[in-house]
Each structure stands twice: as C-alpha cells, then as structure tokens.
C-alpha cells in the first residue's frame, strides 16, 4: 500500500501541479485529498478539476463548505472571507455543486484509517490540532488506528504510545505496534510552518513521510495580483507563514 495524501491546496495551481509531478514518480496506489481545494489562491476551478480527476477520496474543508454555502464565512478572518467571496464569484456552478457534495469525513475500507479535515472530535466545528494536548484529546474521538487531517497547514505525525504519551515527529514516523497516530499532511498551496515549499504526505503500511516540493511561487503571486487578491495573502507564500 502506498497512498499520497494532499490537503489544503487553496486554489494554488502551480503548487498542485508540482506536487502531482512528484507523486506520480512513485506511482502510488491512490491519492487522497483532505479538503480545502479553494480559498486564498487564483485557480479554484482548475484545482478542483485536477483533484476530482486524480484523487480517489475527497473530503470537505472549511473553505470548500464556506464557498458552497454550507459553513458560515462570517467567522472567517477578513483575508479568508475576502478570498472566499472572490471564489464564490469565480467558481463554476458545476464546481460549486461538487464542493457542496463533499463529506466531512471518510473511512476508507480495509485501511483502519479515519480521514477528516479539521478534528475527529467535532469535524463540523473546524477545530485546530496544533499541540500534543489537542492531539491527546482527539485520540479519544476515533476508533481507527490512524487519523489523517489537514487544516492547520502544519505537517506532523503525533504518536500515542502504550504509556499514554504523545510523541511528535516532523518528517517521518515509523509505525510501532501498540501505537496510534494523528497525521497532518501539511498544505500544498499555502504552507504556514515557515517552509514555503508545498507539503504532502506518503503513507505506507509501516510509515508516513512528509515531503516538500518547490514550485513557481512567482507565477502564483502574479495571478493573485491580477485577480485583486490581498497583498497579505500574496506575500505570505514567500514566507511560508
């Protein structure tokens, strides 16, 4: 089993294309998408078209549901709300319908894995899992051995060991007998961990690895500028914050 996991693409076509190029070199059995195809970036339709063609599993992010009218964008920060409004104006009806059809979570058969964009505790409330305590609490809210998430744009693997301790891994985690895992694949289109390279994860039976890929940030930024998207959103791509 070799699964490539992508999340938080946020309408960044150059990042998505660069990540898929890398992914295809290793010929994974499947590609799973963990939500937020849209929001922030200039190519929502192009990104949705690619994701629906390439991914075998798709679930919803808060931006997807926000744009589709299923989550309240009034609670978004001003930059996210402005980008969501721009996306609503620029999305095709077909792609809007696709976003509306995405489920909040999934349990791929045979894999003993729970997939959710934000948190297993309350998927529809879009909580963030950002520290070991958040992870510890959330281990109680899924029965499977592993849970894979996105949402915070910080890649990590949290391991709950037999003594009840949570250990954090930033790049690679080898799965150990008796341990359970919450894995964040990071963000393809808007990394926020200080590394501007696109992030995705490769999951096998025995391990998960976070991979980083550089992409043509300048082209994305140029298109964002032409679309009239905010300067803050444009500049944060350089910093990966």
Give me the least distance between CB of 30 and Zn ion, in Å please.
21
Q: Quick count: other Cβ atoms within 10 Å of Cβ 206?
A: 10
Q: Which of residues 84-143 bind Zn ion (CB under 5 A)?
A: none
Nearer to Zn ion, 8 or 193 (CB): 8
CA 158/CA 138 separation, integer angstroms? 11
- Specify the stretch interacting with Zn ion by CB under 5 A; choose among 2-10, 26-34, 48-56, 69-77: 2-10
Encoded one letter per residue, x for contact with Zn ion by CB under 5 A and - for no contact, window 10-39 reads --------------------------x---
H or E, element range at 89: helix 78-90
Give me the least distance between CB of 84 and Zn ion, in Å please.
11
Nearer to Zn ion, 8 or 82 (CB): 8
Binding Zn ion (rule: CB under 5 A), the pick from 8, 64, 159, 193 is 8
CA-based max dimension of the chain: 54
Question: Any contact of residue 193 with Zn ion (CB under 5 A)?
Answer: no
Residues that bind Zn ion (CB under 5 A): 8, 36
């Amino acid at each position: 089993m070799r699964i490539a996991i992508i999340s938080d693409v946020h309408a960044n076509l150059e990042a998505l294309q660069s990540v898929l190029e890398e992914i295809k070199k290793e010929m994974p059995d499947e590609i799973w998408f963990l939500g937020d195809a849209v929001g922030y970036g200039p190519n929502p339709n192009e990104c949705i078209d690619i994701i629906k063609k390439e991914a075998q599993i798709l679930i919803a992010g808060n931006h997807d549901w926000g744009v589709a009218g299923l989550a309240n964008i009034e609670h978004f920060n001003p930059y996210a709300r402005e980008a969501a409004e721009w996306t609503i104006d620029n999305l095709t009806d077909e792609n809007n319908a696709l976003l509306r059809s995405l489920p909040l979570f999934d349990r791929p058969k045979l894999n003993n894995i729970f997939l959710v964009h934000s948190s297993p505790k309350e998927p529809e409330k879009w909580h963030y899992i950002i520290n070991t305590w958040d992870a510890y609490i959330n281990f109680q809210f899924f029965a499977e051995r592993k849970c894979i998430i996105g949402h915070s744009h910080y890649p990590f693997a949290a391991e709950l060991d037999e003594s009840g301790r949570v250990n954090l891994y930033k790049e690679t985690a080898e799965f150990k007998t008796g341990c359970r895992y919450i894995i964040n694949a990071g963000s393809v289109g808007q990394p926020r961990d200080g590394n501007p390279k696109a992030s995705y994860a490769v999951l096998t039976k025995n391990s998960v690895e976070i991979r980083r890929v550089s992409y043509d940030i300048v082209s994305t930024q140029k298109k964002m500028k032409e679309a009239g998207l905010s300067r803050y959103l444009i500049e944060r791509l350089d910093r990966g914050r």
